[in-house]
Amino acid sequence: ESASLAARVREQIPALRHEGGEAARRWAYLDSAATTLTPQPVIDALSDFYATETGSAGRGGHWRARRSTGRYEAARERVAAFLGAETSASVVFTRGATHALNLIAGGLRGALREGDEVVVSAMEHHANLLPWRALAEASGARLRVLPLNERGELDMDAAEAMIGARTAVVALTHVSNVLGTVNPVDELVAMARQHGALSVIDGSQSVAHRAVDVTTLGCDFFVCSAHKMYGPTGVGVLYGRPEALERLRPVELGGGMMTSVTEEEVVFAELPNRLEAGTPPVAQAVGLAAAIAWMEGFGMEALQRHEEELTAYALGRFEAVEGLEVVRRPRQRSAVIAFGLRGVDAYDLGELLDAQNVAVRVGSHCAHPLVRALGLCATARASFGAYTDRDDVDALIEALMQATHFSR
Ligand code: PMP
């Protein structure tokens, strides 16, 4: 089932055909956690929009503006349904997950007091760390960091002890972009709720790989980026429960987010427009809606099963590579694997793999505190998507075997 799914997916990804031309060796693209390759239906949706429907959304009454507005709002509905939001007014389009997290943390300025605590984890991407650090500094709140256990999982006893009466915000990633750990976010959201704290879930690495339902999850905020969901760059989502969104002060001011402006007063628009200053990313939102339709065409459960099977296959095959070290082994994991090769510098390893047409990410993955806590300077990371297949994993293993000859 897994192999046939990947084969069907691959036919729709032009980037997999064009790499280096027909005669070139096949590329193994193992960097989907950084950005996913784009399916033809998404490219078509973008190009059709620009060809036939360009018009500024949310302003202007002529037919082009109306049609563009309709497409934009239909995309919002699609995203809301995909995430399980009760109303599309809960969906704010942003430039990406980073932008969404900055709108939340920035929007809470003034809402936190000295002595309040913001809880993040030791595995956060800088996008879900630095905005909270800035908020804590600006408001006299304390930033607390949930530690990890030796498997690279969140320490749940520490979470019980840390999340309490002083906690104002709990901001955690759903899936680690380095270790692949799938965090028990439902439990953590419940803990936050129990103590009256706002919960923020960074879904950048989860929504394209498993079904997510924000209403069941019960979180206050949830963010993601389209370019990691087979969609275009330049657009992301800030989901918020209506009461939670109401608590955000608009950080960005301009057109489209107000209903009237006089010399004395600005009246802000209703949600979600209040949080979308400026001309919205209409084509990108339409592209994201197409990406969601594309994923749903295969089914999120099928995509998850495919990636789980491939991850188990890769972890098994890694055993055969002398000196290969998988960085942490979380029990609940997604298709993201950090690894190193004993005696080979991580950056050299990246180059050796690249020279063999295997694309992995090397570095500290925008998570410096995590990589430092692991006692490393950098790691290699392989991450899978719907189009990844066993041939890609085999190419990685073969390239790693070659790289062992360079070990010192
Ligand atoms: N959070 C996580 C867990 C991520 O992996 C990423 C992207 N690497 C981001 C946030 C930021 O996403 P973007 O760069 O698209 O804003």
Structure confidence by residue, pLDDT tens digits, 244-267: 999 999 999 999 999 999 999 999
Q: Is the CB of 181 under 6 A from ligand 1?
A: no
What number of other Cβ atoms are within 10 A of residue 110's Cβ? 9
Closest CA to 235 of 92, 107, 124, 104: 92
**What per-residue confidence (pLDDT) applies to 24?**
58
CA of 35 to the centre of ligand 1 (A): 9
Residue 32 CA to residue 17 CA, distance in Å, equals: 17
pLDDT the model gives residue 265: 92
> Does residue 97 have its Cβ closer than 6 Å to ligand 1?
yes
pLDDT score recorded for residue 260 = 92
392 pLDDT above the threshold of 70? yes
Index of the ligand 1 atom closest to the CA of residue 96: 16
- pLDDT over threshold 90, residue 41: yes
Torsion angle, alpha carbons of 246, 252, 257, 261, to 10: 110
10 Å CB burial of residue 278 (0-12, 13-18, 19+) is exposed
- Confidence band (pLDDT; 50, 70, 90) for 101? very high
139 backbone φψ class: left, alpha, beta (φ>0; ψ -120 to 50): alpha
pLDDT of residue 18: 61
Give the pLDDT of residue 60: 72
pLDDT at 303 over 90: yes
Q: What single-letter DSSP state applies at residue 338?
A: E
Atom of ligand 1 nearest to the CA of 175: 3
| CB-ligand 1 contact for 31 (6 Å cutoff) | no
Q: Residue 21: which pLDDT band, with cuts at 50, 70 and 90?
A: low
- Ramachandran quadrant class, 240 (left: phi over 0; alpha: psi -120 to 50; beta: rest): beta
Over the stretch 341-359, which tens digit does the pLDDT of each residue have?
999 999 999 999 999 999 9
Q: How far is CA 263 from the centre of its chain?
A: 41
- Reduce the secondary structure of 360-373 to three states and give it as a string: CEEECCCCHHHHHH
Is pLDDT of 361 > 90? yes
Instruction: List phi, psi (to 5°) of 361.
Output: -95, 140
**pLDDT interval class at 74 (50, 70, 90):** very high
CA nearest ligand 1 atom 14, residue:
98
Residue type, 108: L
CA distance 209 to 386: 8
Residues 7-17: tens digit of each pLDDT: 999 999 999 98
pLDDT number for residue 55 = 80
Residue 219 appears among annotated catalytic residues = no
Residues 6+ apart with CB under 8 A from 136: 112, 118, 142, 143
Whole-number percent of the chain with pLDDT over 90:
89
Q: Is 287 close to ligand 1, i.e. is its CB under 6 Å away?
A: no
Q: Are the CB atoms for 229 and 203 separated by under 8 Å?
A: no
Whose CA is closest to 124, among 99, 161, 98, 150? 98
Query: Under a CB-based contact definition with an 8 Å cutoff, are residues 55 and 65 in contact?
Result: yes
Closest by Cα among 229, 128, 231, 238 to 172: 128
Nearest residue to 337 (alpha-carbon basis) of 361, 359, 354, 321: 361
Question: CA-based angle 113:117:118, to the nearest 5?
Answer: 110
> Across all residues in the chain, what is the average pLDDT?
95
* Separation of alpha carbons 89 and 140, rounded Å: 32
| Confidence tier at 26 by pLDDT (50, 70, 90) | confident
Give the residue with greater pLDDT, 406 vs 293: 293
Tell me, yes or no, if the pTM score tops 0.95. Answer: yes
Structure confidence at residue 64 (pLDDT): 87
pLDDT value for 273? 95
